[in-house]
Structure 1
């Protein structure tokens, strides 16, 4: 399957999810997330879910990680749409988020961390394949950012849907996932 086709199909699948299906998917995904023997990590980059895009409620995942390790440091992306880059911003319970013109909530203030200091990144996606290749929204923000991270940084995808067999048009700049969690299963690559 080509990325363009996967984007079309999986955007439509997400649009068709009812609120109750989405809540059930989040609950089942959290159960799968809790089965993973997470390594000791200090700095975690997550994402602020875009409700209109029916993204997975990443807050239940970070809440679980924080429960297991209250000393974790959490970071959220702030994008520069002119350069198609993003930065990881340190966030606390007091951090304010503001919606940008693309409907993405970003931290208003906070210290930027060097990507090489991140231990784990939870990435949004539309689709993924059996080899850990992900299909995002098509702007390349995450792939550019992931290239800057330490090679031992754990890259975790989350999806309401099971993988496709293969994304046929992956390129040299695509960074594969280390694992992807769905409501039904944990895939390790």
Structure 2
């Protein structure tokens, strides 16, 4: 199926979830992430702030957990059409940008290139780790500029059930997908 079709299909599936269903599924995704990856104090995690009108996974669960365990937290911010990584703290001040998305006031790029985990928003991910986002390409550009050792992890309410037919050569696949029911690894060589 083409990305545009998958984007439309999975936006509709998300919209069909009640707020309570979305939160319960987010809790399961969070629990599966913690149980599988077992992040520890000092780890660095790049994670998105949820866009609730798009019913994204509620990553506040992750962020609160990370803060309570002294895990460093970085979030995306779009500056001059580029996604940068801003380190946040419990007292970080946020603002709403022109797309009605919450982001830190600071424009200071952390310039960190290695993250233990990069938790990535998406609408759909296939069995090979190819993702469908919102079509802007911000994360592909970001992935190009971080360490290859950083684990790229998608989080989604839905498991893969169809292939993406229009994968482009610049698309960078995920390493893992975490859903409410499982964690999938996309390492074709069996090594992690």
State the TM-score, normalized to the length of structure 2. Answer: 0.89
Matched residues, number:
185
CA displacement at 1:19 relative to structure 2? 1.3
C-alpha distance in 2 between matches for 1:55 and 1:133? 18
What aligned pairs does 1:71-86 form with structure 2 within 5 A after superposition?
Answer: 72-80=71-79, 83-86=80-83
In the TM superposition, residue 35 of structure 1 has moved relative to its aligned partner by 2.1
Name the residue aligned to 1:138: 135
Flag as ranges the 4+ runs of structure 1 deviating above 6 A. Answer: none
C-alpha deviations, 1:65-85, integer Å up to 9, x for none?
444x41x211111103xx531
Question: How far 1:21 moved relative to its partner?
Answer: 1.1
Please, which of 84, 103, 107 is the counterpart of residue 106 of structure 1? 103
Residue 10 of structure 1 corresponds to which residue in structure 2?
Answer: 10
2 CA distance for matches of 1:150 and 1:167?
26
Partner SS, residue 116 of structure 1 = coil
- The residue matched to 2:83 in structure 1 has which SS? strand
For the aligned residues, what is the CA RMSD? 1.7
* Unpaired stretches in structure 1, ≥5 consecutive residues: none
Distance apart, 1:114 and its partner CA: 1.9
**What is the CA-CA distance between 1:169 and the residue it aligns to?**
0.8
Residues 149-173 of structure 1, C-alpha deviations (whole Å, 9 max, x = no match):
1010011110011113311111111
The answer to whether structure 1 residue 164 and structure 2 residue 161 are counterparts is yes
- Residues 25-104 of structure 1 aligned to structure 2 (within 5 Å): 25-38=25-38, 42-67=43-68, 69-70=69-70, 72-80=71-79, 83-104=80-101
Secondary structure of 2:7's match? helix
Give me the whole-angstrom Cα distance separating, in 2, the residues matched to 1:142 and 1:155: 10
Q: Distance in 1 between matches of 2:9 and 2:86?
A: 32
CA distance in 1, matches of 2:115, 2:181: 28
Report how far residue 42 of structure 1 moved.
2.6
Give the whole-Å Cα distance in 1 for the aligned partners of 2:136 and 2:121: 13
- Give the structure-1-normalised TM-score: 0.91
Shift of 1:15: 0.9
Secondary structure of the residue that 1:89 maps to in structure 2?
strand
